[in-house]
Structure 1
Amino acid sequence: METVRVFFCAAALALSAANAKAQILIGQSADMSGPVAASVKETILGSQLVIDHVNAQGGIHGEKIEVIRLDDGLDPKRSAENSRVLIEEKKVVALLLNRGTPNALAVIPLLDKSGTPLIGPSTGAMSLHKPLQKHVFNVRSTYQREAEKAVQHLHTVGMQRIAVVQADDSFGKDAMEGAMKGFDKAGLKPVVLALADRNKPDYAAIVPKLAAANAQAVLWIGSGTAVTEGVKALRATGSAAQVITLSNNAASGFIKELGSASGGVVVMQVLPSERGLAHPLVKEASDLAKAKGDIELSPALLEGFVATKVMVEALRRAGPKPTRAKLLAVLNDLRYDPGGGLEVSYSPQDHSGIDYVDLSIISGGRFKR
């Protein structure tokens, strides 16, 4: 198991060992080597911008934040074991930005047993919203809302023959519920519904079905390379079908993996445009990124940025030497604007966070709205 420890210390402060205070330990289990590693790395970059900035100002109540990150390769079993190590052995105060729907679900028993909050899971699974998961605090909107809006968009622009490729896992089933709401409202049914293995889809079986159905558009519900390789296979048949996918693929790495097949692909978004520098949140992220050097903003980076801002604010309000119980109490009554009116609101009955959905189209190697 590969362990990546990230320490964020500001050289300008040059604190001596004698003056150094105990660190606030945060844990993360995510895919750093598998099919969504490119997106995860961008999310981590956004998270690091916040933590590095906070630590450079002396930390929270004089304590620096240390993030312990473990690679799970998008395997739910590894996610559960990583989280056990982080919670029981490393004694982290909270988990942050764990990636993947099955992965997050696998960790919930550990959260409930230990009273550890999971902040900003990098998934829009409805199962993390309803029924209420008392230790999970979502920051982004749900996949169901994204998928519903995706189908509505396709119908609005005149598409009637819409196919769906669905990852055959809890993430795919969850998103498909939202897609079917969109189909029902449009008075349509999918011309093809192809189930795909989460990590190794059978493109030789899937793509001919899409071509034979003469699909005008394909809603591709999957992650990372499972989608990019599928789109390439579809384009290799000569199909010009509009491809639309969900925000879990809203990363610069996704565009790079698509290569020449990226043009015209629509990707759902759950935060304002990373190019909209007039937005206070985006401006803040851009300024911190520029100070670090050549770091390009992306939707995935912004997701990590916002989730970590929420965590930092909760830690501040929890007071010196925050415990899991103190942090949980603060989160359950948190009202916080991370920038530009994107209010995060939690209560003991609702841990939904920000409710925002938009879409973008890839053009010239960038997301455009």
Structure 2
Amino acid sequence: MKFFWALLLSLALSAPALAAEPGVTDSQILIGQSAPFTGPASQLGIRLRMGIDAYFKSVNADGGVDGRQLKLISLDDGYEPGRTVANTKQLIDNDKVFALLGYVGTPTTLAAKPLIDAAKIPLVGPFTGAMALRDPVDRYIFNIRASYNDETRQIVDNFLFLGLKRVAVFYQDDAYGKAGLTGVVKALAAHGLKPVATGTVKRNTVDVAAALKSILPAHPDLIVEVGTYTEAAAFIQQARAQGYGGQFANVSFVGSEALAKALGPEGNGVMITQVVPFPYSGVAAIVREYQARMTAAGHPNDYDFTSLEGYIDAKVLVQGLRKAGKALTRNNLIDALNGMNAEDLGGFVVHFTPTDHAGSSYVDVTSITQNGKFRH
């Protein structure tokens, strides 16, 4: 009998430990992020985190999620895969976060993917459109933005509609750039065409001389750029200086506002595809909500595409946390996200199933104006 009661006591004492989920207490949920907050791509991480923070602050001010406050732990990786791996280990093993949110970049997220899968920890809203993170479907990675295939198809189809067919590609020489290049090649192939030239740049550099030498002699009508704002701006400025008068188009990862600022008047007419609604007007309910909460967070009129994406990413995660219920586990969160078959966030719909983690195919086309603003 003594043994029986001792066994019951032992099970009772161990039950909370067995039930405990990393990063979850009665009062808090820890969320981890690795992104560039320094270096040539820093504005991507800074702005994405700003949108996440704005949404988290509003949720926490309203009592949190089932009484739990959200806390974001953000680590700087400088847009370098090796640092992303180290950060992911830190977040999972040392900080004991419950889930991951808003990683930035294709090569960085791909480098962290084996750790994410091994830890069975969900990552929501990676800032990348690479197909390698979508096909085959990864149980733990929930993409929200449209793919680079979606974006580059929109660029190519819109441009060819004008009757111009000579398309070149300037791309970052890594997994991100190659994903964009693949998208352009695929889109052109649907019209029986191929790129007339290609050129590359190394990540986190602005040495574009070789790319210019490779691309400009082909006299393209359009140059599709698949890089960050520093690389894209350097290429555009030097191409213009050498007399190139054709069109430039960028995918959304470039960092639209940072690119416009870097180019100044030379940015007039540069196209950029976007994967979230236009953040400067109040047409969509999600945008009106975003603007109000950015203002409440201390960022009045400081709106842009990247922070809106961070805001949407955070909202999707919180919707999943709420649907997962009070007894929060990673598996419950994954099941809840997989149940978002057509989640309308206010004019932006997210679609997840167990066999499809490409949450959205929304693509808009914008261009930079002469005064550094945007039209669409």
Fold conserved between structures, TM > 0.5: yes
Q: Percentage identity across aligned positions?
A: 35
- The aligned amino acid for 1:352 is A
State how far apart, in whole Å, the 1-side matches of 2:41 and 2:154 are: 23
Shift, 1:139, TM fit: 0.5
1:162 aligns with 2:161: no
Whether the 8 Å CA contact 1:47–1:308 is kept in 2: the answer is yes
State how far apart, in whole Å, the 2-side matches of 1:149 and 1:239 are: 23
Whether the 8 Å CA contact 1:281–1:338 is kept in 2: the answer is no
Per the normalisation by structure 2, the TM-score is: 0.89
- The aligned amino acid for 2:50 is L
- Structure 1 residues 157 and 78: CA distance shift in structure 2, 3 A: same
Shift, 1:362, TM fit: 0.4
The size of the alignment, in residue pairs, is: 350
Deviates more, 1:211-220 or 1:286-295: 286-295
Q: Which residue of 2 aligns with 1:241?
A: 246
1:284 aligns with 2:289: yes
Shift, 1:158, TM fit: 2.6
1:319 aligns with 2:325: yes
State how far apart, in whole Å, the 1-side matches of 2:103 and 2:299 are: 26
Whether the 8 Å CA contact 1:118–1:137 is kept in 2: the answer is yes
Shift, 1:218, TM fit: 0.6
- The aligned amino acid for 2:194 is K
Q: How does 1:165-204 map to 2 (within 5 A)?
A: 165-204=170-209
Deviates more, 1:329-338 or 1:108-117: 329-338
- The aligned amino acid for 1:31 is P
State how far apart, in whole Å, the 2-side matches of 1:134 and 1:150 are: 30
- The aligned amino acid for 2:205 is K
Whether the 8 Å CA contact 1:144–1:176 is kept in 2: the answer is no
Whether the 8 Å CA contact 1:250–1:298 is kept in 2: the answer is no
Shift, 1:290, TM fit: 2.6
Shift, 1:231, TM fit: 1.2
State how far apart, in whole Å, the 2-side matches of 1:281 and 1:326 are: 26
Whether the 8 Å CA contact 1:38–1:254 is kept in 2: the answer is no
Shift, 1:71, TM fit: 0.1
Q: Which residue of 2 aligns with 1:267?
A: 272
Aligned alpha-carbon RMSD (Å): 1.7
Q: How does 1:30-45 map to 2 (within 5 A)?
A: 30-45=35-50
Q: Which residue of 2 aligns with 1:366?
A: 373
2:190 is paired with a residue whose SS is: helix
Structure 1 or 2, whichever has the larger Rg, is 2
1:75 aligns with 2:80: yes
State how far apart, in whole Å, the 1-side matches of 2:260 and 2:41 are: 12
Q: Which residue of 1 aligns with 2:147?
A: 142
State how far apart, in whole Å, the 2-side matches of 1:81 and 1:109 are: 12
State how far apart, in whole Å, the 2-side matches of 1:322 and 1:89 are: 20
Whether the 8 Å CA contact 2:233–2:263 is kept in 1: the answer is yes
Match of 1:297 among 287, 296, 303: 303
Whether the 8 Å CA contact 1:35–1:199 is kept in 2: the answer is yes
Q: Which residue of 1 aligns with 2:98?
A: 93
Q: Which residue of 2 aligns with 1:255?
A: 260
Whether the 8 Å CA contact 2:157–2:187 is kept in 1: the answer is yes
- The aligned amino acid for 2:108 is N
State how far apart, in whole Å, the 1-side matches of 2:44 and 2:186 are: 28
